[in-house]
């Protein structure tokens, strides 16, 4: 006998059958993949509909970073894994300290590779996870749950509200308890999944897109890019060293050899090399300007370049 879904879950759009895929198991592989792709194409538009809400969250996160706070994503299952993935990609991309963007998953790191489903039903565990990292009022907590009603995430958000941390959510079901519980709700309604209830698909894709926008938007806001160049990249391997040279060359218009030399003079610091070249100054003065500009290249250049 199938165990019934908890009260109300069966009514969620993410738990409904998708009319476009009812007979997907009878299709050829190509047609089956076309059905999946057709459904995936709807996700970006669903995200577009809530850009104003995403913008509010981006600004709140950027403000938190400037004030010494963090962005903390928390979720269970796929939602938690996506938060951890996004957090882990910020240090190599933007040169941030690993503590600036934190990803937490119900069940801890072991749950990244192994399903630990029962923990998501424990609100106290969500609160405990935030207490363990010393959450403060300067932080922004992003609760992620396709259903918008995962107890682990609701417990985490409740604790965050108690200490006056800013709260955001990424949910995929309209009118959810999670959206009602946070300061900035982001509800991306992705509808029924190709495989009924498999929110690792469209809902998960939407969550990844929004997380990309939150962290990338906030990093742009605090000057981690110059134009669309990732000028805080850390050249820790051959690929990133080559990318750093190309970034300096693209940002300044100099030849590769000159960019490589400027980087060497700047001890591998991309921003320093760019400011030194564009302002016609030495690396020490470039570092001083950047320090006075909170690391923002355009401010360090005092508007002398576009």
The residues spanned by each domain of the chain are: 13-221, 238-300
- Tell the CATH topology of 238-300: Helicase, Ruva Protein; domain 3 (1.10.8)
User: pLDDT tens digits, residue range 34-80?
Assistant: 999 999 999 999 999 999 999 999 999 999 999 999 999 999 999 99
The pLDDT confidence band at residue 5, using thresholds 50, 70 and 90, is very low
pLDDT at 86 over 50: yes
pLDDT at 7: 54
The pLDDT confidence band at residue 224, using thresholds 50, 70 and 90, is very high
Q: Considering the chain, what is the average pLDDT of its residues?
A: 91
Mean pLDDT of 206-211: 98
117 vs 291 pLDDT, higher one: 291
Instruction: Decide whether 13-221 matches 238-300 in CATH topology.
Output: no
pLDDT at 9: 67
- Name the residues annotated as catalytic: 89, 120
Would residue 196 be called left, alpha or beta, if left means φ above 0 and alpha means ψ between -120 and 50 degrees?
Answer: beta
The CA distances from residue 29 to 24, 35, 172, 197, in Å, are 9, 10, 28, 21
Write out the DSSP string of 217-270: HHHHHTT--BTTB-TT----SHHHHHHHHHHHHHHH---HHHHHHHHHHTTT-H
pLDDT at 166 over 50: yes
Q: How many CB atoms lie within 10 A of CB 302?
A: 10
Mean pLDDT of 114-139: 89
187 vs 120 pLDDT, higher one: 187
pLDDT at 178 over 60: yes
pLDDT at 30 over 50: yes
CATH of range 13-221; options 3.40.50.460, 3.40.50.10490, 3.20.20.370, 3.40.50.1100: 3.40.50.10490
Percentage of the chain beyond pLDDT 70 is: 95
pLDDT at 189 over 90: yes
How does 200-215 read in b/e, with b if 16+ C-beta sit within 10 Å? bbbbbbbbbbbbebbb
pLDDT at 244 over 90: yes
Of 125-129, 134-138, 172-176, 192-196, the range with the lowest mean pLDDT is: 192-196
pLDDT at 31 over 80: yes
CA dist 256 and 132 (Å) reads 47
Would residue 268 be called left, alpha or beta, if left means φ above 0 and alpha means ψ between -120 and 50 degrees?
Answer: left
Look up residue 285 and give its two tokens: 């003065």
CA dist 158 and 163 (Å) reads 9
The pLDDT confidence band at residue 184, using thresholds 50, 70 and 90, is very high
């Amino acid at each position: 006998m199938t165990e019934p879904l908890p009260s109300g879950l069966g009514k969620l759009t993410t738990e409904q059958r998708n009319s476009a895929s009812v007979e997907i198991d009878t299709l050829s592989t190509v047609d089956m993949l076309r059905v999946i792709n057709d459904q995936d194409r709807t996700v970006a538009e669903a995200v577009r509909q809530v850009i104003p809400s995403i913008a509010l969250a981006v600004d709140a996160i950027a403000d938190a970073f400037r004030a010494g706070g963090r962005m903390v994503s928390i979720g269970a299952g796929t939602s938690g894994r996506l938060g951890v993935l996004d957090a882990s990609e910020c240090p190599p991309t933007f040169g941030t300290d690993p503590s600036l963007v934190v990803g937490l998953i119900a069940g801890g790191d072991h749950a990244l590779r192994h399903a630990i489903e029962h923990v998501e039903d424990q609100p106290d565990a969500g609160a405990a996870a935030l207490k363990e990292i010393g959450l403060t009022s300067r932080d922004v907590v992003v609760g992620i749950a396709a259903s918008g009603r995962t107890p682990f995430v609701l417990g985490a958000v409740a604790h965050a509200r108690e200490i006056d941390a800013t709260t955001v959510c990424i949910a995929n079901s309209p009118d959810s308890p999670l959206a009602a519980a946070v300061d900035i709700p982001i509800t991306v309604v992705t509808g029924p999944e190709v495989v009924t209830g498999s929110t690792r698909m469209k809902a998960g894709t939407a969550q990844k897109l929004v997380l990309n926008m939150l962290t990338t938007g906030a990093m742009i806001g605090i000057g981690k890019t110059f134009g669309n160049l990732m000028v805080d990249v850390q050249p820790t391997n051959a690929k990133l060293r080559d990318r750093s040279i190309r970034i300096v060359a693209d940002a300044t218009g100099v030849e590769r050899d000159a960019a490589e030399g400027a980087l060497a003079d700047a001890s591998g610091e991309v921003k320093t090399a760019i400011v030194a070249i564009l302002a016609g100054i030495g690396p020490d003065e470039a570092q001083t300007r950047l320090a006075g500009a909170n690391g923002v290249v355009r401010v360090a250049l005092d508007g002398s370049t576009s």
